[in-house]
Chain A
Amino acid sequence: MPAFTAAQKEHLQEQGFLLIEDAIQGDTLHRLQTTFDHWSPQFKEEWLEQIASGDTCPTWFDIPDPLFKDEIFVDLTDHPSYFDLIDHCYNGRSCFAGMSARAVPPWPLSYTGWHPDQLHSDALHLKVQVYIDDVPAQCGEFGYVPGSHKIDQATYYRSIRNDLMPDHITFPGKAGTAILFNSCGLHTAMDNSTRQARKSVIMGYYRRPPGAAASSKHTALAHLCTTPQRRSLFELEAA
């Protein structure tokens, strides 16, 4: 039995997103929170130096290479709360594109504006955003324009005020909430007028082409890839 319903699948296909509350719970959520908070300060000073040298952006912080920091981040990539649906959408050929373990500090503006990650095409580009802590309204919560994944989007929506985008919806949510979305659709982080940083993990996926060679990108994770599905996800073997 798939861990998703036909209605959920249809919603993702038609609207371009699917909200999954309590996707991550209990011990897993606690591990995720403590791991995130453990690693963030270890790279803070390096990040501040990169800001001063003009080599990175000051409006968000990413834990470098999170997959290689702790097993919990690997476990997040194929969590059954959303991965069964993702893998179904890719006909069992889902492939891991990348992960950002991201903290966004408060700022008078959102750190980004409305944008698609790529122009509309037949290729499916799914992403999942998982909230590490509670993300109330006006705290940088995820925003999406339903149905916008189906049409070609110009890439210059960035300059308008995020709250003025027509027909958008926002996703304040509890820790552990996951939002699965088609990244060809217009999405953003809303403004953060609170004094609280927004912490989340953002993961991307794509469909692995038939006959693709094995990749060495994630070889160091091989010991954690104990199922065929995960070995395929990380391209440890030829397709």
Chain B
Amino acid sequence: MKRIDAHLHVFAKATTEFPRQTDDLFPPEREEPVEKLLAEMEKHHVDQAMLVQMLGEDLKHHAYLRHCLTSYPDRFLGIGLIPPQCQNPEDHMDRLADDGRIIGFRLGTLGGPRDPFAPTDVRQFATYRIWQHAAKHDYVMWLYLQAVDAHLVAYMVDAFPQVRVVFNHLGVCPGVGKFSWDEKQRPHVDSPDFFTTMHTIHRLARYDNVALHLSGQYAFSKEPFPYQDLEGVHRYLLHGFGPQRLMWATDAPWIYEKPGYGALLNVIGELLPNLSEADHAAIMGGTAQQFLRFPQVN
């Protein structure tokens, strides 16, 4: 069974070779290097992974991500970021994706009307050009949206049925003031409203071009691993999207210490205990292989 970790992060110390944004949480000397990830992947027989850019949207900030993708071409694909005020997003996207290793771009907002009753024209959305360009070049849209954007996605997916869309972290769209960093410097979402997720994002299961990560449990659960309070959410997403559009991911590095990379290999089996072997294999890597087109590895 091929295993693909469909969403995680690496970053280097801030240097001239690998510039990145720094702040109190991510001082220049902090790093989560790709070698550490590779050691965990080797140890736990994970074949490939999707590296998702963080700590900077500019082209230069992607230097370490591109270094990792070039250094280990059979192991990784990448997801880039786009500066919010980018004047020429098409050029930015193409320059990052020029060698085919960055296959898509992560968005945190769509930039449409906040009122669901307002007339909605996707051409007026702030990210319309990004979606339009993604449709033209087959880039993947990688979504971790705010709650205020949840109802807007359906309009974009409807307008661009050829664009592959991946919702991160159970499709949760954190509300204003609900996202924070916990004492272990991990993302934490306070009281995520799964009811909202189920009633909004889950409806998008109808679109064949929409997939979703089973990940981020540590940030949402009120229980320790294996996060049994999220069993119902996993079951519900499975029934909606099916194993062919669900992807396991660890969201490393935030989980290295607790519950540990190896423990997360078992999270799907724990929360979806009745999966067939084939369905389990799909979620653990088969779906990512097909939907994200990871290279075949011998």
Interface residues of A (CB under 8 A from B): 44, 48, 51-59, 61, 103, 105-113, 156, 158-161, 195, 197
Contact = CB atoms under 8 A, between A and B. Distances in A.
Report which residue of B176, B199, B202 has the largest number of chain A beta carbons within 10 angstroms of its beta carbon: B199
Interface string B118-152: 01100000000000000000000000001110110
Contacts of A113: 203
Nearest to B147: A54
B117 A197 contact: yes
Closest 9 CB pairs of A and B: A54-B175, A54-B147, A58-B151, A53-B175, A108-B158, A159-B240, A156-B239, A105-B116, A108-B154
A53 B177 contact: yes
Given A52-B114, A55-B193, A58-B116, A109 B173 contact: no
A108 B199 contact: no
Contacts of B148: 51-52, 58
Contacts of B192: 54
A54 B200 CA distance: 11
B174 interface: yes
16 contacts: A52-B147, A52-B175, A53-B147, A53-B176, A54-B192, A56-B196, A57-B195, A58-B116, A58-B147, A58-B150, A59-B200, A61-B117, A107-B151, A109-B203, A159-B240, A160-B206
Contact of A53 (B115, B178, B240): B178
Interface of B: 114-117, 119-120, 146-148, 150-151, 154-155, 157-158, 173-178, 192-193, 195-196, 199-200, 202-206, 239-241
Given A54-B173, A108-B154, 4 more contacts: A48-B114, A51-B151, A52-B146, A57-B196
B148 to A, nearest CB: 5
Residue of A54, A106, A197 with most chain B CB atoms under a 10 A cut-off? A54
Which of A48, A106, A108, A158 counts the most chain B CB atoms within 10 A?
A108
Contact of B117 (A103, A112, A158): A103
A107 B177 CA distance: 27
Contact of A59 (B116, B173, B205, B240): B116
B199 A111 contact: yes
Contacts of B119: 195
Contacts, number: 87
Contacts of B155: 108
B147 A51 contact: yes
B202 A158 contact: yes
B117 A109 contact: no
A58 B195 CA distance: 11
Contacts of A195: 119
Contacts of A56: 193, 196
A110 B178 CA distance: 28
B205 A159 contact: yes
A109 B115 contact: no
B212 to A, nearest CB: 12
Contacts of A103: 117
Contacts of B157: 108
Contacts of A160: 206
Nearest to B118: A105
A72 to B, nearest CB: 22
A27 to B, nearest CB: 27
A208 to B, nearest CB: 29
B272 to A, nearest CB: 14
B204 A109 contact: yes
Nearest to A56: B196
A159 B206 contact: yes
A196 B158 CA distance: 18
A55 B174 CA distance: 10
B111 to A, nearest CB: 14
A107 B151 CA distance: 8
A57 B200 contact: yes
Contacts of B114: 48, 51-52
Contacts of A106: 120
Given A54-B193, A59-B199, A108-B155, A158 B240 contact: yes
A125 B239 CA distance: 26
A197 B118 CA distance: 10
Nearest to B151: A58
A195 B117 CA distance: 9
A57 B199 contact: yes
